[in-house]
Amino acid sequence: MMPLQRSSRDARKPTRRLDAASIALTLFFVLLAAMQFLALQDGITEVAYSDFQQLVAARQVDNLEVTPTRIRGSLKMPGAAPYLPASDAMALRKRGEPWRFATTRVADDQLAQTLSAAGIRYTGDVDSAWPGMLVSWAIPLVTLFFVWHLLLRRSGGLQQYTKMGKANAHILVQDETGITFDDIAGIDEAKAELRQIVAFLRDAERYRRLGGKIPKGVLIVGAPGTGKTLLAKAVAGEAGVPFFSVSGAAFVEMFVGVGAARVRDLFEQAQAEAPCIIFIDELDALGKVRGAGLTSSNDEREQTLNQLLIEMDGFKSNSGVIIVAATNRPETLDPALLRPGRFDRHIAIDRPDLNGRRQILAVHMRHVKTAPDVDLNELASRTPGFVGADLANVVNEAALHAAEADKAAVDMADFDEAIDRAMTGMERKSRVMNAQEKITIAYHEAGHALVAHSRKHCDPVKKVSIIPRGVAALGYTQQVPTEDRYVLRHGELLDRLDALLGGRVAEELIFGDVSTGAENDLERATAMARHMVTRYGMSERVGLATVGDSTEHLGAQGFDRWRAAFCSDDTARLVDEEIRRMLDEAHSRVSATLDTQRATLERIARLLLEREVLDHEMLQQAIEGKAHESARETVAG
């Protein structure tokens, strides 16, 4: 809670400063208006020039000051007021002595003679330009400067622009990272490769005396959430050296040359703090292939990349500065970055296997109070394909779910809910379906479950549900592999293809019609069949040639380029025919399976409508025909 409170106070500080500045600016303008009003109301009454001529003729004026544009003076007492309009006379009476007036001078060549003939004392003067300049220039300039200063403080001050070429790197030392290799699990091979870097940073002389050169750069490649940044922080934590962390996107700005200046500044800071580690996250934002754009290149990004290459060549291998970078798109990096002498060592972090997931879960459960029934092996087997960030989220969601239920410890039911939420989204109890839709979904999911159970190479069905979850999932069939698989045979892929079509075929068999609920199933089935034909060489008609894999990164207009560059129109047509053939054959196999086991299909669907969620044991009982008997015994008991 404390960080949230500090963030709230920090967020209110600019608003408070802005309110105070607004009040000060308002008071300034009020004071300026008051000064101008008082200047206009300085005891001088403005009269018409014709009235001034009558006062001169009556010899009722004295002490005149004549300028090229104005005439100022005072009136004699008494008898001056009757010569003025009633309003001016009343104003003069209220003021008392002296009665002063002013008028705008009209072109009159006889004025001096008239005043001399009347015996009126007068003096001459020139108009001063300073008051006008003060009003028309000085005051607006002061006001504009005040507003500019206010806006500049609001945006961060002049230092924001003077530091534009500085690297936005955060220097972290061991006490601030607080991460070691003990905090990382599931990537033992990556840790083993980085231990040599740690040893060099701790005792560089051992390598220097034998003439060995430590790698200048280490590139960590892996899917999002696999722990790339965490691994780099652990290296700094193990070695106890400063840790410079910066994002690749922080170098690229709208101003040309700023990115290159930031790269130079970062390496200057690192050389001053050597030995240390520079960590560049999301390197692909900075190091994309130069000149790869179809229209034009990004000069600023390419200049920044060139500066990075120069800096990596400029310092010595044994200087004590190690560059660690992370990316999840290594295929987009410029080849100049990957050659020896720059990023010498490449470390790939794959998704953790069963044992790795068990270790990661154990790390994240250190500070979580768990119940005795929590089985790490079971949780690890139910989360295939999960990365470290996903597993950390599962543990956190389970703890939140247990706290919401006011439990003393987190049990397996909480972890089950957390895994379901991570896979399919939050349970949507507010989404109310009509009876016909619910029946359709029940038969659809029953078809998936029954076909998956009847195929030898399909993963076991762990759970079947018709409760809506997430944005679009109206139901789901959860299959959990018994072991990690990296290679699949042709027969295994065909079994998985059948399981994907089980829901669609069940709708056809029971209702004689189909719904839109099989959209995602058909998309995945088509992609699987396309890979079998174009990547895996599992089509006798197409043969062993790989003709796919080039449309994925080309977008909507890329398919025509793929056909022209990688295969002929006849081959593309043959690929489409083979995909359709595989899907049609899978449809026939699934239709035969469900037609012969229609009674079992209906039994599973009815049980789903009654209970909404079936686990593995309940599904097995429904398939064996024992589900209704056990349900009756439960009700009777």
- Give catalytic residues, as residue numbers: 445
Q: Strand ranges (DSSP E) for 69-119?
A: 70-75, 99-104
Closest alpha carbon to 264 in 330, 205, 310: 310
Length of the chain: 637
468 known ligand binder: no
Q: What Cα–Cα distance (Å) separates residue 195 from each residue in 237, 280, 307, 353, 398? A: 12, 19, 29, 22, 34
Residue 139 tokens read as 């005051």
Q: Is 401 annotated as a binding residue?
A: no
Question: Is 223 within any annotated ligand binding site?
Answer: yes
132 assigned binding-site residue: no
Distances (CA, A) of 633 to 599, 602, 612, 620, 627: 22, 21, 19, 17, 10
Contact 243, 277 (CB under 8 A): yes
SS3 491: helix
Token pair 């389970």: residue: 398
Is 555 known as a binding-site position?
no
Structure tokens, 123: 């003096």
- The span from the CA of 21 to the CA of 26, in Å, is 9
Report whether 222 belongs to an annotated binding site. yes
* CA 433 – CA 440 distance, rounded (Å): 11
Neighbouring CB atoms inside 10 A of 1's CB total 5
DSSP structure class, residue 430 = T
Q: Would the annotation count 42 as a binding residue?
A: no
- Please, are residues 102 and 43 in contact by the beta-carbon 8 Å criterion? no
Residue with tokens 């199933």: 521
Confirm if 300 and 253 have CB atoms less than 8 A apart: yes
Report whether 521 belongs to an annotated binding site: yes
**Are 351 and 223 within 8 A, CB to CB?**
yes
DSSP state of 368: S
Distance CA 435, CA 449 (A): 21
Cβ burial, residue 124 (10 Å; 0-12/13-18/19+):
exposed
Q: Alpha helices, DSSP H only, in 121-227?
A: 130-133, 139-155, 159-162, 174-177, 188-202, 205-208
Specify the 3-state DSSP secondary structure of 47.
Answer: coil
Q: Tell whether residue 384 is among the known ligand binding residues.
A: no
Q: What is the C-alpha to C-alpha distance for residues 251 and 245, in angstroms, rounded to an integer? A: 12
Query: Is residue 385 marked as binding?
Result: no
Alpha-carbon distance of 278 to 287, in angstroms, equals 16
Using CA atoms, how far residue 566 sits from 105, 358, 534, 550, in Å, is 93, 43, 11, 8
- Please give the Cα distance from 53 to 595 (Å, whole number): 120
Question: Cis ω on the peptide bond leading into residue 275 (within 30° of 0)?
Answer: yes
Q: How distant, in Å, are the alpha carbons of 186, 256, 315, 365 from that of 165?
A: 39, 11, 20, 43
Known binding residue 149? Answer is no
- Number of neighbours of residue 628 by Cβ within 10 angstroms: 14
Residue numbers belonging to the annotated binding site: 222-229, 444, 448, 521
Residue numbers belonging to the annotated binding site for Zn(2+): 444, 448, 521
Residue numbers belonging to the annotated binding site for ATP: 222-229
